Amino acid sequence: MTQTQQRDNLDFDYKYGFSKPDTSVFRTKKGINEAIVKQISKIKNEPQWMLDFRLRSFKIFLEKQMPEWGADLSDIDFDRIVYFAKATDNQKKSWEELPAEIKDTYDKIGVPEAEKNFLAGVSAQYDSEVVYESVQKELSKKGVIFCDMDTAVQKHFDIVKEYFGTLIPPHDNKFAALNSATWSGGSFVYVPKGVDVKLPLQAYFRINSERFGQFERTLIIAEEGSNVHYIEGCLPVGEKISTGDSWVHVETVKPGDLVMTHSGYLSKVSKIMTRKFRGKIHTITPLSPYNAFSLTGEHPVLTIRRDDVLVKRQSRKKDWLKEVDSEKLATASPKFIPVNQLSKGDFIIFPKVKSQIVDQKSFSDEEIELLGFYTAEGSLSYHKKLKQYIVAFTFNIKEHYYIERVQELIKKITGKKAMLFEEKGKHAMRIMVYSHPLHDFCFQHASKYAHKKALSQEILNLPDFQLSIFFEAYFGGDGNLFVKPTSKSQLFRAATASQTLAIQLQEILARLGIYASIQLRKGGPDVILGRKILRKDQYIVGFTYPKKWSEVRETADYFIVPIKKITTKDYDDHVFNLEVEGTQSYL
């Protein structure tokens, strides 16, 4: 396929795919040669050692063959590209100083808002040069340097000269050599020994000119014992994000939506970023298999490394992972670590979701208990002839306590006596009541149909004691209990056909200090009490209590859950990332 064909086949329906009129104050001629390389260096007033580095790199570029790995790049015409364009006559320190068309560009992609709300430092590059750069004062006081690469060459040449081009040297490949010969702009970060940069740094790179090559260079130096977070990493299509009361696909999230952060609070999405990605996607499977998630390799995950919390003794079995010190693990400080640096046995952080509704509607304990029974075993309907709204509950004929208890609750809440119908073929007892208010209450706070049931945000934000009432009733209707004779601990399991409800039950239990796992049982033919049925997919929410020993630890704010498996697979599609106000994290 030719470049023209490839261009014609591209999908240009992309939010940030706009361009502005080219108002650059200077551009080199098209093409690449030694004179152009010297011109770029001269315009930047670079020291001789950088010019020599560029010229050596250009010579390597001419000698190197096009790489054979990856896509076919044989159609690239290096002489049709502009290698340097200067957007402004000098670098600006505030947004107000920028030319209108450049300021409008970065306003559209949210740079000012991101810096104001969250970022410790921002660097914005337009075509070849950084046009805006800002570092919060607190960073400067700590000795942190965050600036564009051109400034670093002039003011911090001793550090730059030592490290520049050492990680990916010019002779690595033809394009590394081209970048080394024609580089312009990019980010320079230096963090002194022992300094922890709490908030992340981020750079924005924007190409506005047609047939233009942007060759930014980024150099990050973190001394021993220091810590810095440079925002990168994305999620693949179909990966799910927690919104507190449900999970949604990342590609459906919009600016303004609320997503759950690592602290257990909801925060507003300020910007969505997407790009095409071809490479390895990493899937992390924790103790609960259904909570597995997939990310690009650079994406950070809030983690505690197993190696940081080990006991001194050796593992009791050769094939076991190294044992951890429970006290060390519970008091360790989690850190954001790229997923491609994690290993089986490391621990990821699952937050306990916090209630955030201030004007929470109050419900009686009886209403919450009956809603628990309804969510497990209830159904809603409308009798057209009688013009009556019906709420019904179905229990096994032997579940005498629950049958009687639901009748009591119906009488107390509606003032009506429930009707009983024995379904002998199903070994079941059906409890019914005509009540429009109760019908609406159940529908509003738990929906209808077994596979679509989901709790309202008001129910999820109930105080813990009422959540406990709800879950006990729900478990009475849809749960089962297995007592382990050896340990005397009890295995609690509740099944639901609703994926959303399973997730919500997991979060309710987390609020109550219980870490529950979710497992998927695929649907198909089944037999219940001698009856053949066609079962839908079932989501099994389970936990063991009390536990003398557990792989999961907890603090007041989160659970510490071991990684059971890490896998990778090839991926070729769009990936997504979010910017979130405040903590800048999402689940």
- Unique residue bearing structure tokens 């550090």: 159
Distance (Å, whole) CA 535 – CA 522? 8
| Upstream peptide bond of 485 is cis (omega within 30 degrees of 0) | no
Which DSSP string corresponds to 320-386?
SPPPB-HHHHHHPPPEEEEGGG--TT-EEEEEPPPP--SSPPP--HHHHHHHHHHHHHEEEEEETTT
Q: What is the DSSP letter of 151?
A: H
pLDDT value at position 279? 86
Assess whether pLDDT exceeds 50 at residue 11.
no
Helix, strand, coil fractions of the chain, as percent rounded to 5:
30, 30, 40
Distance (Å, whole) CA 544 – CA 189? 48
Distance (Å, whole) CA 188 – CA 327? 39
pLDDT value at position 2? 42
pLDDT value at position 50? 93
Q: Output the average pLDDT for the chain.
A: 78
Q: Which two tokens stand for residue 234?
A: 């994305």
Cite the DSSP H helix spans in 346-496.
Answer: 365-377, 400-414, 436-446, 457-460, 464-478
Residue-wise pLDDT tens digits, 354-411: 766 555 678 999 999 999 999 999 999 999 999 999 999 999 899 999 999 999 999 9
Residues of the chain above pLDDT 90, percent = 21
pLDDT value at position 370? 95
For 183, residues 6+ apart whose C-beta sits below 8 A from its C-beta are 54, 149, 215, 216, 217
Q: pLDDT: is 444 or 276 the higher one?
A: 444
Sheet of 538-545, strands arranged across: 479-483, 490-496, 538-545, 517-521
Distance (Å, whole) CA 525 – CA 531? 10
Maximal CA-CA distance, the chain? 94
pLDDT value at position 420? 93
Q: Tell me which residue of 544, 541, 537, 499 sits closest to 518, measured CA to CA.
A: 541
pLDDT value at position 97? 56
Distance (Å, whole) CA 356 – CA 108? 30
Q: What's the whole-number mean pLDDT along residues 500-513?
A: 87
Q: pLDDT: is 556 or 469 the higher one?
A: 469
* H helix or E strand, kind and range, residue 181: helix 174-182
pLDDT value at position 123? 41
Assess whether pLDDT exceeds 60 at residue 332.
yes
Residue 77, classed as helix, strand or coil, is coil
Q: pLDDT: is 142 or 313 the higher one?
A: 142
pLDDT value at position 13? 41
For 94, residues 6+ apart whose C-beta sits below 8 A from its C-beta are 132, 134
Taking the CA atoms of residue 580, residue 249, residue 468 and residue 477 in that order, the dihedral angle to the nearest 10 degrees is 170
Q: For residue 448, is it left (φ>0), alpha (ψ between -120 and 50) or beta?
A: beta
pLDDT value at position 361? 75
Residues of the chain above pLDDT 70, percent = 76
Q: What's the whole-number mean pLDDT along residues 266-284?
A: 81
Phi, psi of 499 (to 5 degrees): -65, -45
pLDDT value at position 256? 80
Q: pLDDT: is 468 or 352 the higher one?
A: 468
Distance (Å, whole) CA 83 – CA 44? 14
Assess whether pLDDT exceeds 50 at residue 499.
yes
Taking the CA atoms of residue 459, residue 463, residue 466 and residue 472 in that order, the dihedral angle to the nearest 10 degrees is 80
Q: pLDDT: is 458 or 320 the higher one?
A: 458
Domain ranges of the chain: 12-222, 235-352+560-580, 365-555
Domain formed by 235-352+560-580, architecture: Beta Complex (2.170)
pLDDT value at position 75? 81
Assess whether pLDDT exceeds 50 at residue 111.
no
Q: pLDDT: is 391 or 110 the higher one?
A: 391
393 has which bridge partners?
A: 378, 431
The CATH superfamily label for domain 365-555 reads Homing endonucleases (3.10.28.10)
Residue 1, classed as helix, strand or coil, is coil
pLDDT value at position 350? 86
pLDDT value at position 186? 76
Residue-wise pLDDT tens digits, 38-55: 998 898 899 999 999 999
Assess whether pLDDT exceeds 90 at residue 554.
no
Q: Where residue 113 falls among pLDDT bands split at 50, 70, 90?
A: very low
pLDDT value at position 101? 54
Q: Tell me which residue of 298, 32, 54 sits closest to 164, measured CA to CA.
A: 54
Residue 128 near residue 86 (C-beta atoms within 8 A):
yes
- Cα angle 372, 375, 380 (rounded to 5 degrees) comes to 125
pLDDT value at position 470? 94
Residue 371 near residue 441 (C-beta atoms within 8 A):
yes
Q: Where residue 442 falls among pLDDT bands split at 50, 70, 90?
A: very high
Q: Which of 58-67, 105-114, 328-337, 509-518 has the lowest mean pLDDT?
A: 105-114
pLDDT value at position 23? 45
Taking the CA atoms of residue 419, residue 424, residue 427 and residue 430 in that order, the dihedral angle to the nearest 10 degrees is -20
Tell me, rounded to whole angstroms, the distance of Cα 369 from its chain centroid.
34
Distance (Å, whole) CA 514 – CA 546? 10
Residue-wise pLDDT tens digits, 522-534: 877 877 666 677 7
Assess whether pLDDT exceeds 60 at residue 3.
no
Q: pLDDT: is 537 or 244 the higher one?
A: 537
Assess whether pLDDT exceeds 50 at residue 136.
yes
